[in-house]
Structure 1
Amino acid sequence: MGVFAAVTATFFDTASRSAINPFNFFGFFTMQSNILLAALLLITAAQELTRRSRRPSWIVPARAAATTYMLIVGIVYNTLLDGLAGGVDLGWANAVLHIVFPLYALADWILFNDRYQLPMQLVWLMLIYPLTWCAVVLIRGATDGWVPYPFLDPATGYVSVTTYVVAIATTIAVFGMFVIWISRFHRPLRRPQRTTRDGTSDRGHL
């Protein structure tokens, strides 16, 4: 709930000082990644509380991807963006979104045994969302001039932007493999099962 409180407080704080464009506000990778992982953790917690025996087949891979994105948020902010103008002006909300929750995401994935072992091929699926996000940002930067982060501004030159995009994709792939590798050190849970049309049970696949 701390993440949703930080996002909400930041939204109203920004709106109190100037007109706010929701597409711009929620266009930041930080906002999207925080909301995504927080929502997935709430879904997982609700399933535990209701003692559901069958989980959706997508929940563990989705959590792995969201955890990877949150690690990237923490690394990129603390190495490239900390101290730059713009971003989250509320100190406590900034800390929650860029430091506390990324660390919590890592600790949650390492410490809790509530997932099955994931295939390394999942890394390629993890890249789809951030690369799509980068494409949208570049299109917007070239058309209406809005960019969430200075290193993705087309005005700096497409060679520079392309270098950063490749670096981001490579970093996501590396940390995605790390997240998948961690999943293999836990006692594997059974994959979620689904019932086929003939009434037999089949294990879910990615």
Structure 2
Amino acid sequence: MRAVHKRTLLTVMALLGWSGLAIQLDMVLLARWTSGASLLGGLVNYFSFFTILTNTLVATVLTYAADTRSSKGRAFFLQPWVSSGIGVSIIVVGVAYSLLLRNLWQPQGLQWLANELLHDVMPVLFTLYWWFCVPKGALRLSHIGLWGLYPIVYFAYILLRGHLLGVYPYPFIDVEKLGYAQTFVNALGILAGFVLVALVIVALDRWRGRQTLSRDL
């Protein structure tokens, strides 16, 4: 693919990511405004979802990938181990939503659009970006431990926030309804899925890396 076409495609992908985030934020703030609730509280609640945080990282990577200008942010986010870790997280977002949350509600209108972009479209697009654009052969099993810090720290934050406010972003980690024992079982299940996806990503990275090396020899 020619460089200009590649940048155009990456720009479109980044815009789709930011659009989904913007639509969801607009609806959250509008709902808070019409109900007289705190907009700051709505903003904090918005960024308390793993889906939102991960899609923000995805859109950031795609934005840097589409922009050829050098910067510290671009140098960091386009490192294969960083982009790959974000790839693992967005795949988990898509799979977890399809398995655990999709049947719990039926969004309509703009909510449906935002929902599709954040849970279905962006996981697929970023997986394709990872497969075709991220250099292969640099991942190690030790990277999985680094990637795992993200969901672990997130879970700890959600537990603390829920303890203080009594609000949990996802039903499968709602301590008030499930209790701590079941919540931790559910969280460990999600973490196990995360590690499984990470192992697959590392294996594919090594396989593609060996293929590239064989062609270059």
Measured against the shorter chain, the TM-score band is 0.7 to 0.9
Match of 2:24 in 1: 10
Report the residue type matching 1:6 in the other structure: G
Structure-1 separation of matches of 2:205 and 2:161: 37
**Deviation (angstroms), 1:62:** 1.0
Amino acid at match of 1:151: F
- Conserved 8 A contact 1:113-1:186: no
Paired with 1:50 and 1:187, the residues of 2 have a C-alpha distance of 26
Structure 1 unaligned blocks of 5 or more: 190-206
Structure 1 residue 151, shift from structure 2 partner: 0.9
Q: Secondary structure at the match of 1:127?
A: helix
Matched, 1:126 2:147: yes
Structure 1 residue 87: deviation in Å?
8.3
Deviation at 1:172, TM superposition (A): 0.8
Deviation for aligned residue 1:61: 1.0
Give runs of aligned pairs for residues 27-46 of structure 1, distance below 5 A.
27-46=48-67
Does the 8 Å CA contact 2:139/2:206 hold for their aligned counterparts? Answer: yes
Tell me the secondary structure at the aligned position of residue 71 of structure 1: helix
Equivalent residues in 2 for 1:1-206, closer than 5 Å: 1-18=15-32, 19=37, 20=39, 21-46=42-67, 49-50=68-69, 56=75, 59-85=79-105, 90-112=111-133, 114-155=135-176, 156-187=178-209
Work out whether residues 117 and 186 of structure 1, in 8 Å CA contact, stay in contact via their aligned partners in 2: no
TM-score, with structure 2 as normaliser: 0.77
Q: Deviation at 1:64?
A: 0.7
Counterpart CA distance in 2 for 1:123 and 1:13 is 35
How many residues get paired? 186
Q: Which structure dedicates a bigger proportion of its chain to helix?
A: 2
> 1:123, 1:173 within 8 Å by CA — same for their partners in 2?
yes
Deviates more, 1:131-140 or 1:98-107: 98-107
How much has 1:25 moved relative to structure 2? 0.5
- What is the one-letter code of the residue matched to 1:62? V
Q: Name the CA distance, whole Å, in 2 between partners of 1:125 and 1:87.
A: 35
Q: Report the residue type matching 2:143 in the other structure.
A: L
Question: Could you tell me whether the CA contact under 8 Å between 1:10 and 1:90 is conserved in 2?
Answer: yes
- Indicate the SS of the match to 2:75: coil
The structural deviation recorded for 1:142 is: 1.5
Contact 2:54 2:86 in 1 (8 A): yes
Q: Give the drift of 1:170.
A: 1.0
> What CA deviation, in whole Å up to 9, does each residue of 1:51-99 have, x standing for no partner?
99xx836621111110000010001101101132498961111101000
Aligned CA-pair RMSD: 2.6
- TM-score w.r.t. length of structure 1: 0.81
Distance change >3 Å, CA 70–CA 87, structure 1 → 2: farther
**1:141-177 superposed Cα distances (whole Å, 9 cap, x missing partner):** 1221121101111111111101011111111111111
Asked whether the 8 Å contact 1:71–1:106 carries over to 2, the reply is yes
